[in-house]
């Protein structure tokens, strides 16, 4: 479902945007809609990636090598 909105934009910017839209054979409305959609998708992707990164930090990474012996076992007298 689409809905109209009202924007207040500088006249000079509108003039330049009209030229750009004509060169791309589209409308200012369509250009703004596409850019807004990209911004929302990027923000959503960032939040998802951030949650995934925090979860990965919580479980850690095995970078190879041997598992370390706990300090208590290392210094335990036999």
Scan for tokens 């409308």, then name that residue: 27
CB 28 within 8 A of CB 14: yes
Cβ neighbours of residue 31 under 8 Å, at least 6 residues apart?
17, 20, 21, 24
Q: Would you say residue 2 lies in a domain? A: no
Residue 24 and residue 34 in contact, taking contact as beta carbons nearer than 8 Å? no
Backbone dihedral region for residue 64 (phi beyond 0: left; psi -120 to 50: alpha; all else: beta):
left
Say what the pLDDT of residue 14 is.
97
Domain residue limits at 29: 11-58
Confidence category of residue 78, pLDDT binned at 50, 70, 90: low
17-47 pLDDT, tens digit each: 999 999 999 999 999 999 999 999 999 999 9
pLDDT at 47: 96
Does any domain span residue 39?
Answer: yes
**Mean per-residue pLDDT, 48-64:** 86
pTM: 0.65
Residue 74: pLDDT above 70?
Answer: no
Considering its fold, how many domains does the chain have in total? 1
């Amino acid at each position: 479902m689409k809905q109209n909105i009202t924007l207040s934009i500088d006249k000079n910017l509108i003039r330049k945007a009209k030229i750009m839209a004509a060169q791309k054979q589209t409308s200012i409305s369509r250009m703004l809609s596409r850019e807004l959609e990209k911004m929302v998708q990027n923000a959503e992707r960032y939040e998802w990636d951030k949650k995934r990164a925090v979860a990965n930090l919580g479980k850690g990474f095995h970078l190879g090598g041997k598992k370390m012996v706990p300090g208590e076992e290392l210094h335990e007298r036999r």
